[in-house]
Amino acid sequence: MSAPILVTGGGQRIGLAFARHCLARNQSVIVSYRTRRPAVDALENAGACCLHADFATDQGITTFIDQVREQTDALRGIIHNASDWMPESPDSDPADVMAAMMQIHSTTPYRINLACRHLLENSDTTTDIVHMTDYVVEKGSAKHIAYAASKAALDNLTLSFARLLAPAVKVNSVAPSLVMFNDGDSEAYREKTLKKSLLGIAPGEAAAVQTIQFLLDNPYITGRRIGLDGGRPLV
């Protein structure tokens, strides 16, 4: 069987969709999850290796890396999808918010990439790292300042790891804006948000899956950010 792809944050949304996509292609996959949901059980039943991970602590990252190493001696790729969306608020300590956002969006991928470098280089084909960033890396966010800064740090890690790991490992990022709504989003919010892009749609997680797979398949792209935003910068 081929070397697995590691997907962090694979218990829901884009990470879950990509893990299902891998399994449908007979591509083995290792998935991290923070909360055990029925979807995680379904992934395991379909053949995925699902590992609980607490990336909020340094020890949690270390434990997860050790578990990955126990599962495989090679990786086909790493998709860094684990994320949190913590806003600034009067009830939160700004230092805690920044530390939490940097921990999951920057420190975690940084440590996993370095610790798993040999697993990527052990593969008999070119391998990939894909960082899932955000449209806000281009313009910032007045309501999610720490979140935007941490995703911008991840965007920069793309450049550094592309330089470090070439030519054996390609490193790119995908920067989505609105891809899919949450179940509780109001019609007014949906209508307002759709007007923020030229294409005016929420394409669903399939668009993100297609973009990630495109990067894995393409032999000549590294150190680049792919904007998955429906032309939003042009509005």
Q: What pLDDT does residue 21 have? A: 98
| Beta strand 127-132 pairing with 5-8 | unpaired
| Separation CA 29–CA 32 (nearest Å) | 10
**194-210: pLDDT as tens digits:** 999 999 999 999 999 99
Reduced to 3 states (helix: H, G, I; strand: E, B; else coil), residue 78 is strand
Q: Is the pLDDT of residue 183 over 90?
A: no
Predicted pLDDT at 15: 98
Catalytic one of 110, 135, 147, 189: 147
- Stretch (H or E) spanning 51: strand 49-52
Per-residue pLDDT at 208: 98
Evaluate if residue 228 carries a pLDDT over 70. yes
CA distance 118 to 78: 12
Query: Left if phi > 0, otherwise alpha if psi is -120 to 50, otherwise beta: which for 155?
Result: alpha
Output the pLDDT for position 25: 97
Q: Could you tell me how many residues make up the chain? A: 235
Q: Which of 209, 178, 180, 211 is nearest to 195 (CA)?
A: 178
Q: Is the pLDDT reported for residue 182 higher than 90?
A: no
Q: Whole-model pTM?
A: 0.96
Q: Other C-beta atoms within 10 Å of 47: how many? A: 12
Alpha-carbon gap, residue 167 to 121, rounded angstroms = 10
The domain covering 5-234 belongs, at the CATH homologous superfamily level, to: NAD(P)-binding Rossmann-like Domain (3.40.50.720)
Residues near 208 by beta carbon (within 8 Å), at least 6 away in sequence: 14, 17, 18, 132, 174, 176, 179, 228
pLDDT band at 184 (very low <50, low <70, confident <90, very high): confident
- Is-catalytic flag, 147? yes
Six token digits for residue 122: 């052990």
Question: pLDDT per residue over 80-129, tens digit each?
Answer: 999 999 999 999 999 999 999 999 999 999 999 999 999 999 988 899 99
Helices (H), 54-186: 58-71, 94-102, 108-115, 117-121, 145-165
Query: What pLDDT digit, counting tens, does each position of 28-85 carry?
Result: 999 999 999 999 999 999 999 999 999 999 999 999 999 999 999 999 999 999 999 9
Amino acid identity for residue 221 in this structure: I
pLDDT digits (tens, 9 = 90+) for 154-181: 999 999 999 999 999 999 999 999 999 9
d(CA 89, CA 104): 19
Domain boundaries, the chain: 5-234
What are the structure tokens assigned to 142, written together?
């007045």
Q: What is the pLDDT of residue 2?
A: 85
pLDDT beyond 70 at 1 = no
> Is residue 5 over pLDDT 80?
yes
Residue whose tokens read 């990252």: 61
